[in-house]
Chains A and B, each alone.
Chain A
Amino acid sequence: MARILVVDDAQIMCRILQTMLEKAGHEVVGIAYSGREGLDMYRRIRPDLVTLDIQMPGGDGLSCLEDIRAIDRDANVIMVTALGRGPAEEESREKGASGYLVKPFRPEQLYEVIDHCLSDHEQGGWSR
């Protein structure tokens, strides 16, 4: 079980993620609706893992990823996005994300990426 912070500007996506994560036994310790709010929460909560949307108003998720990694180089962050594969995925990896998940996804896909991230993170693994 992990303590997870969910960051997504879409309230419904936050709730979908929360429901899926809690069903798998994880604890959602915070929900943020913007990158800035997510960063503030990360500082305070220090979760085991963050799910982070890429496209958000007022600062995108990739900037937030950099900011989180600047304060914690071991931060475990999974990018969750509708942007698909390609440049966004590559940039996420370069900026230190631990995993990448494309919407729409099934619960088992989410669990698989999280499991890989939590088990592979120390070895610098990458999950998609």
Chain B
Amino acid sequence: MTGSVMSVSRLQLELLRQAFSRGSEKLKSALQMIAGIAPEDVALKVIACRPGEFHDRTGLGSDPLTLVESNVHGDVEGDILLVQRHADFQVFGRVIENAVLGNSSPGSEDGFVPDWLEGRDRAERDEETTCQYCEDAFTEMANVLFGGLLVSLYENFQLATFQDMPRLTSLDRRQVTLSKNLSRAAREGDVALNVEIECFPGGSDFKSWLVFLPLSSGVRTFLDHQTARGVPRTVKKPGMPPG
């Protein structure tokens, strides 16, 4: 992407954070459909920061990750990712098993078993196959979460965007894929919009981060659009760092 990197003030970050928040509620519907997680078992927190601040602001640390990435095109361009600690992905996998494969309540009306597992005892089920199913579920969840967010950009701001096919990295031991995306964002966009998604269904607890890294042109488009709509640019929330 060409164009200089714009310097985004704290105030503009807050404006972006508030705008991004308007779309985040749609994520609960996606989680309910894909993973069977009830909306009341999901807590969302929206964070807008610079790419270099991502780890400090999210507390992600240096743990191995599972993530899905895609590119966004249209009125706002950039990269979008769904990130989980790999350890949390194991928890997510169990939630998927319970909710979708029906392991917690065999034969339940709501559960179902893939063709290749039908007729087999749970103990016999191939762990790797189940894992593959969970990777598929995670990728599709990302696809739907990305889509939900982009739909909200359209519905709330009339910004038309579309995404490429999502790509899964099942194990990012050294966070190479995340670092590559954050570095690009630091060079070409300077904004990281994150929704921290904490899920606690049935005593489980795991976190995911939906990360949107718009390029400079996209940030400009977004802020110009907001200004044109008459959104006040002097909004200041208590505790917000000085701009």
Binding site for B on A (CB under 8 A): 10-13, 15-16, 18-19, 55, 57, 81-88, 102-106
Tell me the minimal C-beta distance from A49 to chain B in angstroms.
20
Question: Which residues of A lie under 8 Å from residue B147 when comparing CB positions?
Answer: 81-84, 102-103
B154 at the interface (CB under 8 A from A): yes
Chain B interface size, under 10 / 10 to 19 / 20 to 34 / 35 or more? 20 to 34
Q: Which residue in A13, A15, A16, A83 is a CB contact (below 8 Å) of B162?
A: A83
B160 at the interface (CB under 8 A from A): yes
Question: Which residues of A lie under 8 Å from residue B146 when comparing CB positions?
Answer: 82
A11 to B163, Cβ gap below 8 A? no
Question: Which residues of A lie under 8 Å from residue B74 when comparing CB positions?
Answer: 86
B100 to A104, Cβ gap below 8 A? no
Contact with A along B25-37 (1 / 0, CB 8 A): 0100110111000
CA distance A82 to B56 in the complex (A): 31
Known contacts A82-B144, A87-B160, A104-B33; is-contact A12 B150 (Cβ 8 Å): no
Binding site for A on B (CB under 8 A): 26, 29-30, 32-34, 74, 96, 100, 110, 112, 114, 133, 136-137, 139-140, 143-144, 146-148, 150-151, 154-155, 160-163, 165
A88 to B162, Cβ gap below 8 A? yes
Which A-chain residue is minimally distant from B146 (CB atoms)? A82
Q: Which residue in B32, B139, B160, B162 is a CB contact (below 8 Å) of A10?
A: B139
A13 to B150, Cβ gap below 8 A? no
Tell me the minimal C-beta distance from A41 to chain B in angstroms.
15
Which B-chain residue is minimally distant from A60 (CB atoms)? B165
Which B-chain residue is minimally distant from A31 (CB atoms)? B115
Q: Which residue in B140, B151, B155, B163 is a CB contact (below 8 Å) of A12?
A: B140
Known contacts A10-B136, A11-B133; is-contact A16 B34 (Cβ 8 Å): yes
A103 to B33, Cβ gap below 8 A? yes
Known contacts A11-B133, A57-B165; is-contact A103 B112 (Cβ 8 Å): no
Q: Which residue in A13, A19, A55 is a CB contact (below 8 Å) of B165?
A: A55
CA distance A13 to B32 in the complex (A): 13
CA distance A22 to B84 in the complex (A): 33
Which B-chain residue is minimally distant from A19 (CB atoms)? B112
Tell me the minimal C-beta distance from A34 to chain B in angstroms.
13
Tell me the minimal C-beta distance from B129 to chain A in angstroms.
11
B110, B143, B160 pick with most chain A CB within 10 angstroms: B143
Question: Which residues of A lie under 8 Å from residue B96 when comparing CB positions?
Answer: 12
CA distance A84 to B76 in the complex (A): 14
B150 to A84, Cβ gap below 8 A? yes
